[in-house]
Amino acid sequence: MFPVADRKGLDGLHLFDGNAMPVKITRITVDYFWAAKIKPDEVPEGMYSEYITREYTEKLVIDRQTGSIEYIQLKGPGCVVFRRYLVEDGVERLLDALSEADLFRNIKGNPPDVIETPLEVKLYRITIEYTSDQQRVIIGTFDKNGLPEDWPDFAEAVFDIMMTCGLGEILSPFNYDKRKRCKDELIFCSVVFNHYDDKSYYYITDDDSIEVGDRVVVPVGSDNQPVEAEVVKVEYFKEEDAPYPVKKTKRIIRKL
């Protein structure tokens, strides 16, 4: 896809096939290429080089016409992962929200004295297509300064759509490992207020629809101020087996 020898001087390179800016973005394609020379513990007989080259590629395609997001990973010979999300309204809203005049225009670029990793390369190519059949191509090194400055916002928006679709239920332990509740059992939910915080707090609920990953509103503090939290565990206990005294455990106000 991208020859390793071409990695130099690619930061912020823009290619255009026209001057007029079209009105809407119709398709965004992101190609990612990683290659590294790895020194094995033992050099196979007949091998002239002491290094083995490993390559890995990804492709992300967001297409307005089909209303789809395609995510392809080529992990190696005989191993290809392909995911396709059909979310017409989501894709249209995403592309409409992206400003075609500002998208991926600013790239800081790496300084001249940056230290390159001699045996590894990470490159990207972004192709943006418009309603007037024009396109814009951006090529660079896949790192913080080599990527467009608005790449994190773009990546988060796409990731949110993909995570909303989810990976299904048949392989999820939150689904197949969940038993049905008995009449004499209470629902205890462990919640966190910061996704990166390991400390969780028990709350009680009567809502059987609450699941791990749901956002809920819970009372906090002496004045029971309503605060948003994330459910990280749902458990069933009889009152005598409860992990925290039932009378002292506050209740979830509602599910968002």
Q: pLDDT by residue (tens digit) across 58-116?
A: 999 999 999 999 999 998 788 999 999 999 889 999 999 987 778 999 999 999 998 88
Alpha helices per DSSP H over 133-207: 151-165, 173-176
Question: Model pTM?
Answer: 0.67
Q: What is the pLDDT of residue 12?
A: 47
Cα separations in angstroms, 198 against 111, 208, 227: 38, 24, 18
Encode pLDDT of 137-189 as tens digits.
Answer: 999 999 999 999 999 999 999 998 888 887 777 877 777 877 889 999 999 99
Q: How far is CA 111 from CA 11, 46, 114, 135, 146, in A?
A: 10, 41, 6, 28, 10
